[in-house]
């Protein structure tokens, strides 16, 4: 009746996951009770959970990513403490728990922090930058988000019900096969990635279509802001690469559930085929994450230098080159598998070549700053911190792209240091820059600069103190994922790294403080103009937060840096005072489809993990029925009358006119 599920799967003997689980559960219950008692539930349901507004969905993506960042971060703290004290001793984490922690850390940080954070920012900003009212498929957008949330929920469920994978974040066979991992850990891993993978794929399709098909008047491809270009490239990669992940995990699941032999050692299976396929997805994935970050830095650097982006066209070219070459380098993750010099050399050279367009981008940002009037606001600090950090990570990357060097460094702490250097220094710094930069747009008030700068400096220095020692430990021969070790030379570096982790944690606390302080002072920090940073692209042309329809009129774009042009013209003509003629606007209706779909997907995923077959069928039918009901809908749009549009838009116009007249008076 309940498959493999019984009371023994709850780890009563292990205090750490149990207490953590209990704390989280109490927290969730407290929030839920508070929401219900205060009567916020209808608001939450109508305005957020069922919302198909790209801005709201973007905010929810980022919220999910932030919560998961705390979860993945606590895993990281536990690992750093373990390695600092586990010299010639067992430390405080038993091996099977430690193995789950590093697996969960990687899985969560990539799939449920980095991915939702960048997808959230793209969702929030891209339609605004393109000057349109929504993404191409608004309800699909909501489905994508909720399926991602399902994946995150399943991963976290494994904390208290059963166990998580002990196989590392990519679950390499044969370890992840049934004979070596008979528990439900790998199933939790695989099913949550399968479900959230569907969510990511639909988000990718949605954003590609949005950029290709929905642009405002005059927004040619070569007038799009850089962030739109990197969004296009990144989502093309999602559409091309995520099916590979789905197929690979499907084969692993067939091995585990139905006795197939794709990746087993016996009966003609080939373990290396899994490495090959998973990295054919895995390497493009790296660029899926970092390309949007490059886009964010392009926007930030250009805005805070007060200059148009240097070498816009070369930047576009570099982005699209990375998009293609990222599919030609995946073997560098397994140089050591035994292929000969010809294969290794080709992929090694391709890996070095991909550093070239990235270098082009770095120079473009530097030249954008050169001669500019630079304002070191928090987003700009993150951008400059990124440039410094990412160059170091890029150089160590080129180093491990050399096969003989890779043979020495493969699977070592050097590699761990390298990819944290590029992912934290690239993606996370980018996500934080975007968060600080677009927060006023999303919520209508700026974030506190003092706490923001503190957060930056603690995170920045904490990052170096944590990860530079890992390079050294790797050079000293320390391999990754060690639960304990007996080599005295490694110990001091592990202790330094743990101290760095403490500094990094202060950075995270500052970030939380920044949010708290800013919300408290929101009246003082209110952004009335919609353009708090003196921005250059169209998202700043509307109010903060933007009305549900984004723009009362579709902006007419006449060149790059669309909003900058509008501002120049407005100052010259001192804003024409003609009353514009407003029209009705049709917007997509909110729909619970995404939430209900994900609800059934959660049931189905959970049942699949625990082999509860009747529940699998129930969940499957439910999800399909939801889709059918949505497909049969009669009304999917509602009309905002012209008067209402006019009322909302006039408030914004007044604010802006007063701003321009003030600027004129000076």
Partner 1 sequence: MSDQTHARTEHDLAPGEEEQHSVGERIVGYVVGLGLALLLTATSFFIAGTDLVWQPSIPVALIVLAIAQMGVHLVFFLHITTGPDNTNNVLALAFGLLVVFLVVGGTVWIMAHLNQNMPPMDQFIRMHS
Give min distance, CB of 332 to partner 1, in A: 11
Q: How far apart are CA 175 and CA 324, in angstroms?
A: 32
Q: How far apart are CA 288 and CA 285, in angstroms?
A: 5
Span 568-607, contacts to partner 1 by CB under 8 A:
585-588
Return the residue of 339, 517, 653, 659 that touches partner 1, per CB under 8 A. 339
Q: Which is nearer to partner 1, 217 or 569 (CB)?
A: 217
Produce one character per residue of 190-207: b if its CB has 16 or more CB atoms within 10 Å, e if not.
bbbbbbbbbbbbbbbbbb
Q: Which residues make Cβ contacts (< 8 Å) with residue 8, sequence separation at least 6?
A: none
Question: What 3-state class would DSSP assign to 421?
Answer: helix
Return the residue of 277, 416, 510, 607 that touches partner 1, per CB under 8 A. 277
Total Cβ atoms within 10 A of residue 666: 4
Q: Which is nearer to partner 1, 310 or 330 (CB)?
A: 330
Span 195-214, contacts to partner 1 by CB under 8 A:
209, 212-214
Give min distance, CB of 548 to partner 1, in A: 11
Residue in the structure block whose two tokens are 């007044």: 654
Return the residue of 15, 267, 340, 523 that touches partner 1, per CB under 8 A. 340
Identify the CA nearest to 239 among candidates 284, 277, 274, 276. Answer: 284
Span 540-559, contacts to partner 1 by CB under 8 A:
554
DSSP string, 81-96: HHHHH-BSS--SS-HH
Is residue 101 near partner 1 by the rule CB under 8 A? Answer: no
Give min distance, CB of 202 to partner 1, in A: 16
Q: Which is nearer to partner 1, 213 or 373 (CB)?
A: 213
The angle subtended at Cα 331 by Cα 325 and Cα 333, nearest 5°, is 110
Give min distance, CB of 270 to partner 1, in A: 7
Is residue 353 near partner 1 by the rule CB under 8 A? Answer: no
Return the residue of 343, 570, 575, 646 that touches partner 1, per CB under 8 A. 343
Q: Which is nearer to partner 1, 456 or 630 (CB)?
A: 630
Is residue 327 near partner 1 by the rule CB under 8 A? Answer: yes
Identify the CA nearest to 444 among candidates 539, 533, 532, 549. Answer: 532
Is residue 236 near partner 1 by the rule CB under 8 A? Answer: yes
| H helices present in 175-260, as ranges | 185-213, 226-258
Q: Which is nearer to partner 1, 244 or 400 (CB)?
A: 244
Residue in the structure block whose two tokens are 């969730």: 28
Return the residue of 242, 330, 595, 630 that touches partner 1, per CB under 8 A. 330
Return the residue of 280, 309, 377, 510 that touches partner 1, per CB under 8 A. 280
Give min distance, CB of 228 to partner 1, in A: 15
Is residue 646 near partner 1 by the rule CB under 8 A? Answer: no
Give min distance, CB of 274 to partner 1, in A: 11
Is residue 328 near partner 1 by the rule CB under 8 A? Answer: yes
From 73-81, 85-93, 104-112, 268-276, span contacting partner 1 (CB under 8 A) = 268-276
Span 382-411, contacts to partner 1 by CB under 8 A:
none
Give min distance, CB of 272 to partner 1, in A: 6
Residue in the structure block whose two tokens are 């009246």: 523
Is residue 244 near partner 1 by the rule CB under 8 A? Answer: yes
Span 621-640, contacts to partner 1 by CB under 8 A:
637
Produce one character per residue of 26-40: b if its CB has 16 or more CB atoms within 10 Å, e if not.
eeeeeeeeeeeeeee
Return the residue of 83, 111, 119, 134 that touches partner 1, per CB under 8 A. 134
Give min distance, CB of 386 to partner 1, in A: 29
Q: In Å, how far are 258, 458, 575, 640 from 443, measured between CA atoms?
A: 49, 25, 26, 22
**Cα 563 from chain centroid?**
27
**Residue 539, CB-side half-sphere exposure with 13 Å CA sphere:** 28
Q: Which is nearer to partner 1, 328 or 575 (CB)?
A: 328
Residue in the structure block whose two tokens are 């794709």: 262
How many chain residues are in contact with partner 1, going by CB under 8 A?
37
Return the residue of 270, 461, 479, 529 that touches partner 1, per CB under 8 A. 270
Q: Which residues make Cβ contacts (< 8 Å) with residue 231, sequence separation at least 6?
A: 122, 126, 207, 211, 292, 295
Q: Which is nearer to partner 1, 61 or 242 (CB)?
A: 242
How far separated are the first and last CA of the chain, in Å rounded? Answer: 77
Total Cβ atoms within 10 A of residue 372: 16
Binding mask 46-75 for partner 1 (x = CB under 8 A): ------------------------------
Question: What 3-state class would DSSP assign to 445?
Answer: strand
Instruction: Tell me which residues touch partner 1 (CB under 8 A).
Output: 131-134, 209, 212-217, 236, 240, 244, 270, 272-273, 276-277, 280, 324, 327-328, 330-331, 337-340, 342-343, 554, 585-588, 637
């Amino acid at each position: 009746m309940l498959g493999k599920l019984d009371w023994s799967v709850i780890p009563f003997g292990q205090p750490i996951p149990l207490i953590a689980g209990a704390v989280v559960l109490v927290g969730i219950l407290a929030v839920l009770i508070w929401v219900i008692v205060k009567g916020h539930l209808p608001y939450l349901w109508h305005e957020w959970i069922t919302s198909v507004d790209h801005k709201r969905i973007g905010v929810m993506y980022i919220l999910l990513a932030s919560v998961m960042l705390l979860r993945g971060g606590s895993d990281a703290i536990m690992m750093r403490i373990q390695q600092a004290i586990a010299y010639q001793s067992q430390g405080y984490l038993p091996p099977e728990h430690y193995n789950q922690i590093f697996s969960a850390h990687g899985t969560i940080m990539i799939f449920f922090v980095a991915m939702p954070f960048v997808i959230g920012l793209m969702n929030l900003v891209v339609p605004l930058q393109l000057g349109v009212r929504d993404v191409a498929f608004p309800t699909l957008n909501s489905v994508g988000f909720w399926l991602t949330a399902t994946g995150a929920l399943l991963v976290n469920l494994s904390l208290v019900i059963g166990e998580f994978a002990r196989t590392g974040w990519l679950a390499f066979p044969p370890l992840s096969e049934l004979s070596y991992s008979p528990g439900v850990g790998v199933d939790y891993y695989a099913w949550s990635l399968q479900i959230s993978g569907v969510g990511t794929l639909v988000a990718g399709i949605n954003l590609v279509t949005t950029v290709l098909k929905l642009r405002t008047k005059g927004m040619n491809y070569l007038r799009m802001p850089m962030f739109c270009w990197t969004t296009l490239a990144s989502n093309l990669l999602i559409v091309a690469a995520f099916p590979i992940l789905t197929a690979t995990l499907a084969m692993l699941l067939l091995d585990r559930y139905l006795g197939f032999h794709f990746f087993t050692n016996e009966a003609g299976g080939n373990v290396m085929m899994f490495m090959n396929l998973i990295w054919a997805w895995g390497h493009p994935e790296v660029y899926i994450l970092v390309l949007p970050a490059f886009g964010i830095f392009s926007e930030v650097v250009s805005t805070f230098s007060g200059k148009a982006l240097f070498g816009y066209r070369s930047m576009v070219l570099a982005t699209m080159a990375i998009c293609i070459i990222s599919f030609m380098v995946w073997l560098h993750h397994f140089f050591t598998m035994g292929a000969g010099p010809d294969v290794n050399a080709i992929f090694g050279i391709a890996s070095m070549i991909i550093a070239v367009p990235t270098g082009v981008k770095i120079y473009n940002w530097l030249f954008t700053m050169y001669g500019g009037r630079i304002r070191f606001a928090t987003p700009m600090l993150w951008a400059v911190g990124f440039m410094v950090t990412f160059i170091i990570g890029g150089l160590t990357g080129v180093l491990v792209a050399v096969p003989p060097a890779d043979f020495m460094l493969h699977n070592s702490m050097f590699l761990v240091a390298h990819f944290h250097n590029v992912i934290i220094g690239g993606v996370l710094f980018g996500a934080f820059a975007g968060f600080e930069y677009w927060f006023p747009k999303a919520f209508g008030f700026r974030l506190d600069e003092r706490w923001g700068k503190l957060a930056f400096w603690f995170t920045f220095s904490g990052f170096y103190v944590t990860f530079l020692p890992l390079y050294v430990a790797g050079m000293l021969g320390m391999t990754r994922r060690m639960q304990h070790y007996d080599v005295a030379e490694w110990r001091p570096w592990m202790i330094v790294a743990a101290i760095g982790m403490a500094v990094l944690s202060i950075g995270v606390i500052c970030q939380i403080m920044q949010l708290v302080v800013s919300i408290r002072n929101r009246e003082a920090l209110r952004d009335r103009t919609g353009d708090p940073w003196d921005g250059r692209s169209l998202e700043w042309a509307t109010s903060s937060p933007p009305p549900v329809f984004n723009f009362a009129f579709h902006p007419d774009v006449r060149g790059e840096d669309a909003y900058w042009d509008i501002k120049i013209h407005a100052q010259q003509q001192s804003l024409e005072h003609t009353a514009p003629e407003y029209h009705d606007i049709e917007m997509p209706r909110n729909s619970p489809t995404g939430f209900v779909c994900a609800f059934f997907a959660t049931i189905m995923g959970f049942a699949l993990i625990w082999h509860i077959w009747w529940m699998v069928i129930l969940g499957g039918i439910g999800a399909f029925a939801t889709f059918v009901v949505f497909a049969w809908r009669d009304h999917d749009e509602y009309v905002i009358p012209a008067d209402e549009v006019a009322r909302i838009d006039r408030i914004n116009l007044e604010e802006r006119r007063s701003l321009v007249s003030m600027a004129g008076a000076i």
